[in-house]
Amino acid sequence: FFVQVSGRLEEMLDSGKLDVGVFQVLPDETRSTDHVLWRDSLVWVTSPDWPFDTGPVPLITFGDGGFYRPLAERLLAEAQIPYKIAFSGPSTASVIGAVEAGLGVAVLAETWVAGDLVTWQRGRELGELPVSCKVARSSPGEPSKVAAELLSDIVGELA
């Protein structure tokens, strides 16, 4: 059992180091063998006390291999808005905590926008964020009986 960023889980599955994984991909990156569990709209978020409406953007990410970082960096670069990585965390809780503390802005699933998170207004200047797909995927080839049952249980509970 691993908790890891989407990119790393996908690499582990593709190389056969992991039997089953649940992670995010863009809709055009889903595979015919994937089980799409749900879709999320993505939004830019910040703290209500720190609007970051001018100047370089302090970006909060899940680090290298994270699903949101390349999306955020591409949109900021296309809009010619300078940015720096202000914080990289290993979990949604750590990223939310950094945003709530006013360390910067982040891209997250819309379902996380609550409490001390608000939509980052300057993000409206940027291109539209895509929808993400949470998928359950098994490694290539015929899954073992245990992996097939686990995948079936995950899909049954979450889809």
Residues of the chain with pLDDT > 90, as a percent, come to 82
CB 6 within 8 A of CB 63: no
Residue-wise pLDDT tens digits, 144-155: 999 999 999 999
Rounded-to-integer distance, Cα 81 and Cα 59, Å: 11
CB 129 within 8 A of CB 100: no
Rounded-to-integer distance, Cα 21 and Cα 40, Å: 18
Residue-wise pLDDT tens digits, 6-42: 888 999 999 999 999 999 999 999 999 999 999 999 9
pTM for the full predicted model: 0.86
Mean pLDDT across the chain: 93
For residue 31, count CB atoms less than 10 angstroms from its CB and return exposed for 0-12, middle for 13-18, buried for 19 or more: exposed
Nearest residue to 135 (alpha-carbon basis) of 17, 14, 23: 23
